[in-house]
Amino acid sequence: MRIVFFCHSLLSDWNHGNAHFLRGVTTELLECGHAVDVFEPRDAWSMVNLLQTEGPGALDDFHTAYPHLSATRYDPDRLDLDGALAGADVVIVHEWNDHPVVRRIGQHRAAGGRYVLLFHDTHHRSLTEPAEMARYDLE
């Protein structure tokens, strides 16, 4: 299977504990023989802060610790969803993605995307912050 993740950051765990979960899940999927592609916004606050506080060498540390993991950093205004989602079997969109990106992925699926689309609500905000979650276009 080809599994595509859209997340806040796989590369940076600066004040971002979800990165450890994402790294573990991605590693397990790869070890099971699946193709996994991870997309994260180029300007994710976790990455920006990591580079500001630790310098670019912090990414070298990530690649040393996780040589099998990588992520495509994208500009949300230039994200080519047709290319990113071509051949995907499953697409998982994390709650920390920008609302317009979530909307575009949902529209891509509705327009004929042939993949299972899942929304990953790590913090169960659909129950604890329903007004915030209503801002996502998940139809």
- How does pLDDT run across 35-77, given as a tens digit for each residue? 999 999 999 999 999 999 999 899 999 999 999 999 999 999 9
Question: Mean pLDDT lowest for which of 13-27, 42-56, 118-132?
Answer: 118-132
The structure tokens 């990113």 sit at 84
Q: Place 121 in a pLDDT band, splitting at 50, 70 and 90.
A: confident
Closest CA to 132 of 109, 87, 104, 102: 102
Instruction: Give the chain's count of helices (H) and strands (E).
Output: 7, 5
Q: Please report, for residues 30, 54, 58, 105, 138, the alpha-carbon distance to residue 65 in angstroms, rounded to integers and kept in the order given.
A: 16, 16, 11, 31, 35
Q: Is 139 exposed, middle or buried (0-12, 13-18, 19+ CB in 10 A)?
A: exposed
Query: Which token pair is 19?
Result: 């990165």
Q: Tell me: domain 2-133, CATH 3.40.50.720, correct?
A: yes
What's the one-letter identity of residue 106? G
Alpha-carbon distance of 53 to 51, in angstroms, equals 6
Token pair belonging to 106? 């949902």
Q: What is the pLDDT of residues 85-115, one digit of tens each?
A: 999 999 999 988 898 999 999 999 999 999 9
Q: Which residue has the tokens 């080519």?
A: 80
| Cα Rg of the chain, angstroms | 15
Tokens 């913090």, located at residue: 123
